[in-house]
Homo-oligomer: A and B are copies of this chain.
């Protein structure tokens, strides 16, 4: 598939750009500008004039050079002709945000077919229609909404614009960012299979997160998943009969029985999430952490209660928390304050320092398959003591603004932070299930 550099346009046309605040043709153009896209930006509007400080062109055919990308936000009936014009102008990729296609009934379905015929005739690849755009923070190019720009390692592919936007927003707020967002929309041309293949070769992307209602091309999808070398995290909707009915109203996808999906996920070592929250945290774990090589978990904490909750959930998920060896215990007793409880959880109690966490990791890590470090109060230097580790789950809680600052530092150093010990255990459990040390 010739999509190898489709997502690296050096210029962008916004067809249906609008000067009216609140209209999508305005919001999207503004976000492209405000995201700092370094190439040329061409607003296209039959009335011409100036929009957001840029001269608008009446038609894409009047541009001197072909833009690398056209974002289309014109009424559905106009879209087939717009696509033809794009093709003739030499545009290789169009993102059609406009709705009113297959999702809206028979007439829309005809329009969608016509659009794709035109695209094929003129060699234009299509994302959408009826999608929420794309976001490529590494260019940067935010051709969607809301405006989010933080670079990271997770590529988001979504059959729901809102769920994609929610993921981007959480990643931005938590300081991790994302490597790409593709809103699939009606998938009239490019689909999830194409983008799994694309992001497999996309350097900034370390993990691929996909919200899916149904697949367009079953066998191709299966092959793409099975051969993908990067961790995959799926939120597959339609686990229940009612959910599958709701999917038919939403995207007309055939959801398929969930038992079959579950077996496929297990076999192909996909991290399968059942909720938006798990989808978010599993994606962080997939991009930044390694799978555990066994079930032995060490919990180090400055909050006894959080250590207990970690222990409960870990035991419920099949992990074991053996006590440190006598030798390690003796070594630690020399380094830790006298009120520290040397066990598993290892509880520093209230007086913990970053040095204590470092000492505990140094002395104990070799005895365990994975470690969870819980920071129950913000501890100066905590970020440095955990940065760069890939078999360590970091949980921060109870620290207010100071903690948010410290968590931000951890994110900047490439350590995802989890908001509770239970969520961290769920991530560890999902990482175990997706262990690909024996290949996918």
**Contact residues of A with B, CB < 8 Å?**
99-100, 104, 145-148, 158-166, 169, 211, 213, 235, 237-243, 245-247, 249-251, 274-277, 302-309, 311-316, 320-321, 339, 341, 343, 345, 347, 349-350, 376-377, 397-403, 419-423
Contacts and interface: CB of A to CB of B under 8 A. Distances in A.
Q: Interface SS of chain A: helix, strand, loop or mixed?
A: helix
B165 A398 contact: yes
Given A163-B305, A400-B165, A249 B341 contact: yes
A-B pairs, top 3 by smallest CB distance, nearest first, are A160-B305, A146-B400, A250-B304
A159 B312 contact: no
Given A240-B315, A420-B276, A399 B246 contact: no
Contacts of A321: 242, 246
B275 A420 contact: yes
Nearest to A249: B341
A238 B104 contact: no
B308 A250 contact: yes
B308 A276 contact: no
Stoichiometry, copies per complex: 2
A422 B249 contact: no
Which of A211, A314, A350 is the most central at the interface, judged by chain B CB atoms within 10 Å of its CB? A350
A164 B251 CA distance: 43
Given A148-B400, A166-B398, A169-B398, A251 B160 contact: no
Nearest to A316: B240
Given A146-B401, A316-B239, A276 B99 contact: no
A377 B275 contact: no
Contacts of A341: 249-250
Contacts of A420: 166, 275-277
Nearest to A280: B420
Contacts of A211: 305
A242 B421 contact: no
B250 A307 contact: yes
B308 A243 contact: yes
Nearest to A397: B166
A145 B378 CA distance: 11
A247 B419 contact: no
Contact of A308 (B169, B213, B303, B320): B213
A308 B247 contact: yes
Given A99-B349, A163-B398, 17 more contacts: A104-B339, A161-B303, A162-B397, A163-B309, A164-B398, A165-B400, A169-B399, A240-B311, A246-B345, A249-B304, A249-B343, A250-B305, A250-B341, A274-B422, A276-B309, A276-B419, A277-B422
A305 B339 contact: no
A393 to B, nearest CB: 15
A355 to B, nearest CB: 15
A154 to B, nearest CB: 16
A213 B309 CA distance: 10
A420 B277 CA distance: 7
A342 to B, nearest CB: 10
Contact of A347 (B99, B213, B240, B250): B250
A137 to B, nearest CB: 14
Contact of A303 (B160, B241, B307, B402): B160
A435 B315 CA distance: 31
A419 B275 CA distance: 11
A305 B159 contact: yes
Given A99-B339, A376-B162, A243 B401 contact: no
Contacts of A235: 309
Contact of A309 (B99, B251, B275, B316): B275
Nearest to A245: B311
Given A163-B305, A277-B422, A305-B213, A350 B99 contact: yes
